[in-house]
Amino acid sequence: MISEFELYIDGKFEPGAATFGSIDPATGAVWAQMPEARSDEVNRAVAAARRAFTDPAWAGISASQRGKLLARLADLLEDAAPELAAVETRDTGKIIRETSSQIAYIAEYYRYYAGIADKIDGRHVAIDKADMQTWITREPLGVVAAIVPWNSQLFLSAVKLGPALAAGCTVVLKASEDAPAPLLAFARLVHEAGFPPGVVNVVTGFAAECGAVLSSHPQVDHIAFTGGPATARHIVNNSAHNLAKVSLELGGKSPILVFADADIDSAVNAQLAGIFAASGQSCVAGSRLLVEESIKDAFVARLLAKVQAIRVGLPDDMATEFGPLCTARQLTHIEQVVATSLTQGARLITGGRRLDRAGYYYAPTILDCSAAPDAECVLTELFGPVLSVDVFRSEQEAISKANKTAYGLAAGVFTSNLTRAHRLVKAIKSGVVWMNTYRAISPLAPFGGFGLSGHGREGGADAVLDYTTTKTVWLRTADTPIGDPFMMR
Task: Please list the rounded mean pLDDT of every run of 10 residues in the chain (489 residues).
Answer: 94 97 97 98 98 98 98 98 98 97 96 98 94 96 98 96 98 98 98 98 97 98 97 97 97 97 98 96 97 98 98 98 97 98 98 97 98 97 97 98 97 98 97 97 96 96 97 95 80
153: closest CA among 86, 226, 90, 252? 226
For residue 486, the model assigns a pLDDT of 86
Q: What span, in angstroms and rounded, lies between the C-alpha atoms of 111 and 70?
A: 7
For residue 19, the model assigns a pLDDT of 97
Question: Would you give the end-to-end CA distance of the chain in angstroms?
Answer: 87
Instruction: Spell 439-462 as b/e; 16+ CB within 10 A means b.
Output: beeebeebbbbebbbbebbbbbbe
Q: Which domains does the chain have, with CATH numbers?
A: 3-250+453-473 (3.40.605.10), 255-435 (3.40.309.10)
203: closest CA among 190, 194, 222? 190
For residue 488, the model assigns a pLDDT of 62
Which of the residues are catalytic? 249
In DSSP terms, which residues pair with 435 in a beta bridge?
A: 413
Torsion of CA 75, 81, 87, 90, to 10 degrees: 160
Q: What span, in angstroms and rounded, lies between the C-alpha atoms of 33 and 49?
A: 26
For 73-132, the three-class secondary structure string (H helix, E strand, C coil) is: HHHHHHHHHHHHHHHHHHHHCCCHHHHHHHHHHHHHHHHHHHHHHHHCCCEEECCCCCCE
- DSSP assignment string, 239-284: HHHHT-EEEEE-----EEEE-TTS-HHHHHHHHHHHHHGGGG-STT
Quickly count: other Cβ atoms within 10 Å of residue 343's Cβ.
10
Q: Around 278, how many Cα atoms within 13 Å sit in the side-chain half-sphere?
A: 22
Tell me the one-letter amino acid at 375. Answer: A
- Find how far residue 122's CA is from the centre of its chain: 29
Q: Around 363, how many Cα atoms within 13 Å sit in the side-chain half-sphere?
A: 17
- Coil vs helix vs strand at 471: strand
In DSSP terms, which residues pair with 18 in a beta bridge?
A: 36
Instruction: Check if the beta carbon of residue 258 is closer than 8 Å to that of residue 295.
Output: yes
Distances (CA, A) of 234 to 94, 157, 171, 461: 28, 20, 20, 29
Q: Around 379, how many Cα atoms within 13 Å sit in the side-chain half-sphere?
A: 11
